[in-house]
Amino acid sequence: MKILLVILAFFLQPVLWIGVIRAYLNGRTRMKRARSQFNTAVYEKHYEFRHFWVSLLVLGIIISLISVLVGATLPLDWVVIYEALAGLSLILIPSIVIPVLIMIVPSLMMVLMNYHSSTIASQNYVLIAGLIILALGMFIGFNGGRYNVPRIFRNERNNRIAGYPFKELSVFPMLVMIPGNIMRHVISFYPTFMVDGHRVAFLLVPIMIGLRLTVFKHQPRKVFRKLGNHLMVIGILGMLLAVASYKWPILVMISLPVLLLLSWFALYRAKRSDLKHGDWFSEVINGVRIVGIEPGTPAAKMNLHVGDVILNVNHKAVHDEDSFYEALQDQPTYCRLRVINTNHRIILTNTAIYSGTPHEIGVVLFRTSNL
């Protein structure tokens, strides 16, 4: 019964349901924009919604186990301030800075107010920061760039270019301990437990993570996996700093802003690396640029990637979307492509296509009617 009350308390917290609504709306907006620019949603299913719930379950279990094993204890005031900031940020636009920032702010407030006791050491705030950054890195590394839905932009030369936005979030439960007497004072019937001679209450705190980042010049999956790895390293560093701060308490005040700056720098480095190197995925004169590949279609089996340029189809040169599909009509059940990939190497690939429906080959190209 006590465990059920702890779980129920998590599902009653508004941050969770604001996050659910936000994830659903992100998917709706993505599909609506794709249909207007390419006449297809590219990915019909709400993968943002699926990633939300999978991450909630998986990250909730992993981070909660670590939190309980190290005995992370937080004051109820931290939870209240954090949830208020998390709810506000979910109403606005999530980015990498906001999830880390809203976790750092209440922690710094607690440290500055010297808010600790025999059951709440200030080192806990650094530990929690490291755990949340670790979870953020895992979330981005696993989900980022897995589904590349293009969006058309204009660069500084007013050329149309394809960008690949990642705009996802999740809310996962992190199990922490709250001083039992404080929790009982607020909610008299809330269950408490004896741990190492102290009465504590276990609380599943809804932790918000998310990122908004658009990749323009690299394969998105590589960019997000690298960014996720960097954040996981920063998260592990945070936990090591928490351990070191028991010997050097001054590290608590130093570690929190350092972790925030390192997280921001990881994002800045990822964006800068993408924009400073490589070519825009723009329209080309000779051939047609692939800006997306629909899953479960013939194109998905042809070793094609976003950014590749199709030079000819069925031995016919192509220069726009219309000429591409006209060439497909010559052999409506078979497709042979000559492609130059993003490494500037020419490859040949072929596949059978759906009889009488060449438009279902699954290649997403620039449309004449795009912005």
Q: In the prediction, which pLDDT does 1 show?
A: 66
Taking the C-alpha atoms of residue 102 and residue 198, their distance in angstroms, rounded to an integer, is: 29
- Count of structural domains, the chain: 2
pLDDT, tens only, 204-214: 999 999 999 99
User: Torsion angle of alpha carbons 358, 359, 363, 368, nearest 10°?
Assistant: 130
Contact 211, 263 (CB under 8 A): no
Three-state DSSP class for residue 350: strand
Q: Point out the domain boundary residue: 276, 296, 322.
A: 276
Q: In the prediction, which pLDDT does 205 show?
A: 94
Say yes or no: 294 and 271 in one domain: no
pLDDT, tens only, 276-296: 888 899 988 889 999 998 888
CATH no. for residue 330? 2.30.42.10
Helix (H) or strand (E) segment spanning residue 60: helix 47-70
Domain interval for residue 336: 288-365
Closest CA to 292 of 155, 140, 162, 161: 162
117: pLDDT strictly greater than 60: no
Which of 119-123, 237-241, 355-359 is the least confident region? 355-359
Work out the average pLDDT over 114-142.
85
Say yes or no: 292 and 176 in one domain: no
- CA dist list (Å): 337 to 61, 304, 314, 358, 368: 46, 10, 6, 14, 21
Say yes or no: 299 and 172 in one domain: no
Residue 221 sits at φ, ψ, to 5 deg, of -60, -40
Q: In the prediction, which pLDDT does 194 show?
A: 77
Residue 313 sits at φ, ψ, to 5 deg, of -125, 125
Closest CA to 339 of 302, 300, 312: 312
Q: In the prediction, which pLDDT does 371 show?
A: 47
Taking the C-alpha atoms of residue 241 and residue 233, their distance in angstroms, rounded to an integer, is: 12
Which residue is listed with tokens 């606005």? Answer: 92
Say yes or no: 205 and 347 in one domain: no
42: pLDDT strictly greater than 50: yes
158: pLDDT strictly greater than 70: yes
Contact 166, 211 (CB under 8 A): yes
Closest CA to 165 of 138, 145, 139: 145
Say yes or no: 57 and 200 in one domain: yes
Q: In the prediction, which pLDDT does 83 show?
A: 92
Which of 51-55, 306-310, 315-319, 326-330 is the least confident region? 326-330
Neighbouring C-alpha atoms within 13 Å toward the C-beta of 260: 18
Say if 177 falls within a structural domain.
Answer: yes
pLDDT-derived band at 199, boundaries 50, 70, 90 = confident
Say if 371 falls within a structural domain.
Answer: no
Q: Point out the domain boundary residue: 276, 307, 328.
A: 276
Say if 354 falls within a structural domain.
Answer: yes
